[in-house]
Amino acid sequence: MNTALNSLLDPDRLFPTGTKTRDIARGLYSAIKDLPIISPHGHTDPRWFAENECFTDATSLLLIPDHYLFRMLYSQGISLESLGIPRVDGGPVETDKRKIWRTFAANYHLFRGTPSSIWMDHVFHSVFGLTELFSSATADQFYDQITADLQSDAYRPRALMDRFNIEVIATTEGAIDDLKHHRSLAGTPWAKRVITTFRPDDAVDPEREDFVENVRRLGELTGEDTSQWSGYLDAMRARRETFREFGATATDHGHPSAATADLSLPDCQALFARCLSGDVSASDGELLRAQMLTEMAGMSLEDGMVMQIHAGAKRNVNKPLFERFGRDKGADMPSSTNYIDGLSALLNKYGNEPSLKIILFTLDETTYARELAPLAGHFPCLKLGPPWWFNDSPEGMQRFRQQATESAGFYNTVGFNDDTRAFLSIPARHDVARRMDCRFLATLVAEGRIRLNEAEQLAEDLTYNLVKQGYNI
Binders of a copy of itself among residues 13 to 52 (CB under 8 A) are 13-18, 20-21, 24
CB of 393 to a copy of itself, least distance (A): 4
Among 202, 365, 431, 437, contact with a copy of itself (rule: CB under 8 A):
365
Q: Is 464 in the site for a copy of itself (CB under 8 A)?
A: no
User: Strand, coil or helix: what is 38?
Assistant: strand
Kindly identify the residues of this chain, within the stretch 417-446, that bind a copy of itself according to CB under 8 A: 443-446
Kindly identify the residues of this chain, within the stretch 120-139, that bind a copy of itself according to CB under 8 A: 133
Q: Is 371 in the site for a copy of itself (CB under 8 A)?
A: yes
- Of 180-188, 194-202, 203-211, 362-370, the segment contacting a copy of itself by CB under 8 A is 362-370
If you write DSSP's letter for every residue of 228-278 in order, what string do you get? SHHHHHHHHHHHHHHHHHTT--EEEEEESS-------HHHHHHHHHHHHTS
Of 470, 344, 456, nearest in space to 30 by CA: 456
CB of 87 to a copy of itself, least distance (A): 14
H or E segment to which residue 120 belongs: helix 115-122
H or E segment to which residue 469 belongs: helix 466-470
Q: Is 283 in the site for a copy of itself (CB under 8 A)?
A: no
CB of 238 to a copy of itself, least distance (A): 30
- Of 89-97, 273-281, 285-293, 451-459, the segment contacting a copy of itself by CB under 8 A is 451-459
Beta strand pairing call for 313-314 and 358-362: unpaired
Q: Select 168 or 261, whichever has its Cβ closest to a copy of itself.
A: 261
- For the four alpha carbons of 300, 193, 167 and 420, in that order, the dihedral sign comes to negative
- For the four alpha carbons of 348, 352, 358 and 362, in that order, the dihedral sign comes to positive
- Of 45-53, 114-122, 153-161, 219-227, the segment contacting a copy of itself by CB under 8 A is 114-122
- Of 248-256, 313-321, 419-427, 465-473, the segment contacting a copy of itself by CB under 8 A is 313-321
Instruction: Identify whether the C-beta of residue 105 lies closer than 8 Å to the C-beta of residue 75.
Output: no
Specify the length of the chain in residues. 473
Beta strand pairing call for 313-314 and 333-334: antiparallel
Q: Is 194 in the site for a copy of itself (CB under 8 A)?
A: no
Among 74, 104, 272, 416, contact with a copy of itself (rule: CB under 8 A):
74
